[in-house]
Structure 1
Amino acid sequence: MTQPPQPPPRPPHEPPEGEPPRDTPPGFGPPEAGGGFGPPVPPAEGAGTRTPAPGPPPAGPGTPPLPATGFGPPPPSPAPPAPAYGTPQAAPPQPAYGTPHPGPAQAGGQAAYGYPHPAPPYATAPYTQQGHGAGQPPTGPGKRRPGPVFWMISATVLVIALIVGGGVWYANSGTDETPVAKDKDDKKDKDGKGGSGTDDPTVGPAKEKAPADPAARQLFSVPMIYTGANSRIYEVPGSWLTGKVYAKTGLSEINGYDAVAGNRVWNLRLPGPVCAASGFQSEEGLTAVLHKSVRPTRDEGGQCDKITVFDLRTGKALWTKGVGSGQGSAVFTEVTVGGGTVAAGGSRGGYGWDLRSGDQVWSPKPGDECYDVGYQGGSGGLAVIRKCTINTDQDQLFVQKLDPKDGSVSAEYKMPPGIDFAHILSVSPLVVGADVNEAAEDGSGVSDFFSIDGSTGKLRARWPADAKTYGVSCEATAVSGCVDFAVGGDRLYLPTEKHQGKTQGYSSTNEIVVFDLATGKLTGQRLDAGEDWELRPLRMDGPRLLAYRAGPYDKGTQVVSVDTKTMKSEVLLNTPADERSGETVQEFQSEFSDTLFGDGRLYLGASMPEEEKKPVGPDEAIPYLALSFGTTR
């Protein structure tokens, strides 16, 4: 039997040789070339296991400082009165899962918003799809598409899910967005995905506190990358936050900036552009990127065949590895960090390396008809989507929880037949999304969610997601590429799609709703964005939920902290409300951006900057590669 072809990677674009490279000064030289790999390990029985290997040691500290840019004084623009916001609604009892239930009707007999419309029953079948860091990054390249809506159904029984409950609203990439790794002396912070809110960091108190005045000022900005007259769209995935450094990818480099002042404190040059980045980092601030081994030319794009691990505090590269060389080298599509191990999936299956030493932990087995498509990491460890060839027309997917130290399988769940791709939203608790029979339709990549017991591999709950109601989004083939969600306290927090508000005309709004991972049912809790505002989850902060609340250009944008029991919220930060600031911030409110929040500061980074464009009018948005805001504490 033959192994099905792996979907081709989505290589980022890079300016050809000879074009102006970047706006920032040079720094470190390219990382040292890494070593090779030991012989592959003999295959095991079943869907497949991997091979044991070494353990870890620590990394080093340090960082130094430069000036930042900002908006000029924008002309004041008249601010219309703020719309009514956060009106609670009565919560009718929720029916048992699998039981049809008529939703309340609006004028004309149409179901009220939030009550799924009748949909045909589904059968198990294929899936396609990526997610906003943060991760998360998102993390990793690839276009993200509009998110889905939930319809609760079962084989031939329609399930009408009630989205009810009053409430107010609410951090990689994933993505976003997740616990910020402090520097050396902070032992409690775990790996965190910017923009994606993965893992279950609900132990201990919330760390983000509301300031006396949430009004924020711009801290610093990073200039947009301009490459001359033939400017194109380039992918620069990856941004990270530690207690002292904000790091952002550029063209064939990564730069570290003082998290408050914005001056560049380190620069890591790479031999080629970054293709994908881990949204997670270790407690010591170590993370990994996938990049090309050379800068592409006009005729050749180059392959994403190298992994580099570096220290976010110092910008020092610890090691660079690849598999094979030249035309025989392995091509990778995504990379993640978890449990002291770096794992990368691609066209030749998956590989694992020790995070600190770079020693190989596992590799694909020769002749194995199963292979690791991709991994999800974080403080919960590692999980993998493994694909096995059943016949020439059918593949079987397995979700496996791994021991990061040797790649052995600790728990396994066999996905329903006919699903081509699946995405791991969270490792602990283990949550997976998939597009069954391509039912998502909108390209968001998720039609169904699966909650899996990470210790036994047994299915806890499965529930369908209607693309017209819910807004989570996943990259088409990426295992770790989902954004705009948060997982914590055995709950999944999802945004609904934008819909008509209470005011006629162009008014729009949305909500964040909550699913119980044990049952797959809505809990009845809801967080309303308010008229002309939009909410999306960022990450968990202890038992609280952090969310991004995007407002009209003349109202600013907020980060809010939500009590997940009462759904009461408080504002942690509010960006300036002038027109130019509002327009500029809105440039980052797409699926091609990373959003990070930590220590009371907001960081916005472009992962796929638009073609070169410079502002013309005094109120037009200023194109930045990254932008930061903070409050006075």
Structure 2
Amino acid sequence: MSQPPPPPSQPPNQPPSGGFGPPQDPPPGGFGAPTPPPQTPSYGYPQTPPQGYGYPAQPPYPQQPYPQQQYQQQSYPYPPQQYPQAPQPPQAPKKSNTQLQIIIAAAVAVVLIIGTGLYFANSGGSDGKKNEAKNSSSGSTDGAKDSGGNGISGGGKEKAPANTRSKVAFQVPLPKVDDITGVYGSWVTDTTYVKTGISEVVGYDRDKGTQLWSIPLDGQVCAYSRHMTEDYKTAISYEVSKRTADNPYPRCSKIAAIDLESGKVLWDKSVKGSNVGDRDVAFSEITLSGTTVAGAGYDGGAAFDVNTGAVRWKPEVSSDGCYDTGYGGGAALVAVRKCGTADDPQLTVQTLNPATGTPISAYTMPSGVDYPHIVSTQPLVVAADVGDTAGDGSGISDFFSIDAKTGKLLAKISAAGKFAARCGSTDVEKCTHIVVGNGRIYLPTGEHEGEAEYGRTNEIVSFDLATGKSTTDRAEAGERYQMFPLRMDGTDIIAYKIAPYDKGGRIVSLNGSTFKETVLMENPSDKAVRDAESGYAWDTAELLYEDGRMYVAPPALSKPSPYQTQRYLVIAFTTK
């Protein structure tokens, strides 16, 4: 009998791989705003790679290549990232392919000299059905309707305002940090925008940005549920103490449920693991489905009642060492269960009864899969890199559409090197730029040259989940824009457009039936505002759009770099 050895502690979550477009030189300038900037006004990236964590709570993170270029990887245990900088003004006419490759290679070299990035997260939001979890993920969508061929109807709640031009509603200054610090998690309620800070969770008036409440924590947040209940309750896990030189990464073994409207802590506890003896479980991921909070790590897990904190069930470690590595939540609850050895793992995706943890169905992933990623739980869609064949740093070579009732594979969709979607290398529920709804999966294509003399562009396309075949859906980002989906809005798709160097970003709605685009928000084109908005890494930024309001925040911070422009913990835009 064998079972996974318990790690002595839990490291911070790893950043994802890849980026949306080639790295750029740091833009100049700053962003003056209603909220006074902090003394250290920018978040940055480590100038030298972080040193060893001192404990292997997870296997070493696999190295992944930059999507557009292959280059030598760093030796520290997570993938290198590029700076999230704004597109730069054109300096000369469009170059030949050879010249363009030389320029891109030079840009990559500059980035490698300056340092590496760190972020990972995803964002978005979606309304859930009654008594189910609301979804704040860019992955699944609660209550997705089958397309019924071309008969998609119903639309969404988001409507274009009379004036789509937005203004900056507020900014929250960055706290000063000297090392990589997680600030994972952001949510929006009817009245409040909620963001994690340094060992705290803070609620802000969603229009004015004034602080409504603050919850101090013993340590920094290391995992969070991107789903909420209908009455805006969610869960986080956090470290048991503040970080010190002697203990730089305390165990992430505290878990709490929070009322996001009132700022009240509903409960706060730790639990013993099923395979770590007397130690408390270190939670690397947290999710929520209905009223069940489920958390897991490499030394066990547990499920709780979100209202009371009562333990509903704990995953069992079987006699042959099988255990749950993590869960996907939202409209349903899905577990990834791992058996076998590190050299020959066997992964099963199980739909569970959230109240009891009893499996309803199971699908065995093909050999060569080390880390399945739950994109959506209803309908059930899984992403995986089969045999390390993705080749683009995305962590996705294929999507698997599965019948959640029977565990039968409905369709397999090849994705290697084709799309600008990403999944965290080892995480179960951390994929970005992927949306599921209308019986389809919506994906952004990779960037490419357009007709304009300068800039690049892309499209959003879809595949039928019943057949795996591509549909006629095709939305073009437009010349010099790039676009990715954020979430479903009824049967419509909410998307964000990354702007060219002289424009602000845009939020658009794509009609689920016709794919006709409706502009919902156009952000300011003033240079200072542009620089602040474009300074986020769009593969990782927490981007939420609700009812004419857009919020952007980083999931992690590090020591500022002198090459960066003004940065904020939160930037909010509004058309109200």
TM-score normalized by structure 2?
A: 0.77
CA separation of 1:589/1:174 partners in 2, compared to 1, >3 Å: closer, same or farther?
A: closer
Offset, 1:496: 1.1
CA distance in 1, matches of 2:388, 2:137: 28
CA distance in 2, matches of 1:276, 1:364: 19
Deviations 1:113-138 (A, max 9, x none): xxxxxxxxxxxxxx9799xxxxxxxx
Structure 1 partner of 2:391: 441
Structure 2 partner of 1:198: 141
* Map 1:25-64 → 2, pairs under 5 A: none
Q: Does the residue aligned with 2:228 lie in a helix, a strand or coil?
A: coil
CA separation of 1:568/1:561 partners in 2, compared to 1, >3 Å: closer, same or farther?
A: same
Structure 1 partner of 2:161: 211
* Map 1:455-466 → 2, pairs under 5 A: 455-466=405-416
CA contact (8 A) 1:11 1:275 kept: yes
CA distance in 1, matches of 2:420, 2:13: 25
For 1:396, which of 346, 354, 357 is the aligned residue? 346
1:455 alignment partner AA: K
2:242 alignment partner AA: R
* Map 1:227-626 → 2, pairs under 5 A: 227=177, 231-300=178-247, 301-324=249-272, 328-365=279-316, 367-368=318-319, 369-378=321-330, 380-389=331-340, 393-467=343-417, 469-504=418-453, 506-613=454-561, 621-626=565-570
CA contact (8 A) 2:126 2:141 kept: no
Structure of larger gyration radius: 1
CA contact (8 A) 2:422 2:432 kept: yes
Q: Does the residue aligned with 1:318 lie in a helix, a strand or coil?
A: strand
CA distance in 1, matches of 2:480, 2:435: 23
CA distance in 2, matches of 1:463, 1:145: 27
CA contact (8 A) 1:232 1:612 kept: no
2:35 alignment partner AA: T
CA distance in 1, matches of 2:268, 2:131: 28
Deviations 1:477-534 (A, max 9, x none): 1100101111100110001121122234x42111111111011111132111112111
CA contact (8 A) 2:140 2:435 kept: yes
Structure 2 partner of 1:98: none
CA separation of 1:513/1:6 partners in 2, compared to 1, >3 Å: closer, same or farther?
A: farther
Offset, 1:226: 1.1
CA separation of 1:475/1:581 partners in 2, compared to 1, >3 Å: closer, same or farther?
A: same
Offset, 1:593: 1.3
Offset, 1:393: 3.9
Offset, 1:176: 2.2
Structure 1 partner of 2:115: none
1:292 alignment partner AA: E
Deviations 1:580-620 (A, max 9, x none): 111110012433310000011101011123432579xxxx8
Structure 1 partner of 2:123: 176
CA separation of 1:197/1:588 partners in 2, compared to 1, >3 Å: closer, same or farther?
A: farther
Q: Does the residue aligned with 1:588 lie in a helix, a strand or coil?
A: coil
CA contact (8 A) 1:559 1:571 kept: yes
CA distance in 2, matches of 1:499, 1:192: 31
CA distance in 2, matches of 1:355, 1:290: 13
Offset, 1:235: 1.8
Deviations 1:329-367 (A, max 9, x none): 221110001121010110123311111111111113355
Q: Does the residue aligned with 1:625 lie in a helix, a strand or coil?
A: strand
1:626 alignment partner AA: V
Q: Does the residue aligned with 1:581 lie in a helix, a strand or coil?
A: helix
1:3 alignment partner AA: Q
CA separation of 1:549/1:426 partners in 2, compared to 1, >3 Å: closer, same or farther?
A: same
CA distance in 2, matches of 1:607, 1:298: 23
CA contact (8 A) 1:178 1:539 kept: yes
CA contact (8 A) 2:392 2:416 kept: no
Bigger Cα displacement from structure 2, 486-495 vs 548-557: 548-557
CA contact (8 A) 1:144 1:444 kept: no
CA contact (8 A) 2:62 2:79 kept: no
Offset, 1:288: 0.6
Q: Does the residue aligned with 1:584 lie in a helix, a strand or coil?
A: helix
Structure 2 partner of 1:43: none
Percent of aligned positions that are identical: 40
CA distance in 1, matches of 2:406, 2:466: 14
**RMSD across aligned C-alpha pairs, in angstroms?**
2.7
Offset, 1:426: 0.3
CA contact (8 A) 1:180 1:242 kept: no
Structure 1 partner of 2:89: none
Bigger Cα displacement from structure 2, 188-197 vs 274-283: 188-197
CA separation of 1:463/1:5 partners in 2, compared to 1, >3 Å: closer, same or farther?
A: farther
CA contact (8 A) 1:397 1:414 kept: yes
CA distance in 2, matches of 1:571, 1:411: 41
CA distance in 1, matches of 2:434, 2:547: 21
Offset, 1:193: 2.0
Offset, 1:218: 0.6
2:548 alignment partner AA: G
Structure 2 partner of 1:139: none
Runs of 4+ in 1 over 6 A off after TM superposition: 127-130, 142-146
CA contact (8 A) 1:179 1:189 kept: no
Offset, 1:572: 0.4
Offset, 1:437: 0.5
1:11 alignment partner AA: P
TM-score normalized by structure 1?
A: 0.70
Offset, 1:536: 0.5
